[in-house]
Amino acid sequence: MPDLSDEDQKLLAEAHKNKENPDHPAHKDHPKHGEWLKNVPKQLGGAAIFGAGATAGSDAVKSLIGQ
């Protein structure tokens, strides 16, 4: 395992401390623990639609200029 910088060690220690605190959203028993997960499909869906539209637009332009 690579050596962690002082800042990374500090962040890791804070994450472990928060994991044990039931009032922190990182704790598994916190009522909002997983709430961020509900937004992931919406965000991925928007990215997929944007990506598909960009690809289709690129293909249309390429066909118009004959490449």
Mean pLDDT of the chain: 79
Tokens of 30: 């916190």
Q: Are 56 and 48 in contact (CB under 8 A)?
A: no
Chain segment 20-34, per-residue pLDDT in tens: 778 777 677 877 777
At residue 2, the pLDDT reads: 64
Q: What is the residue whose two structure tokens read 């499909």? A: 41
pTM: 0.34
At residue 64, the pLDDT reads: 86
Q: pLDDT class for 67, splitting at 50, 70, 90? A: low
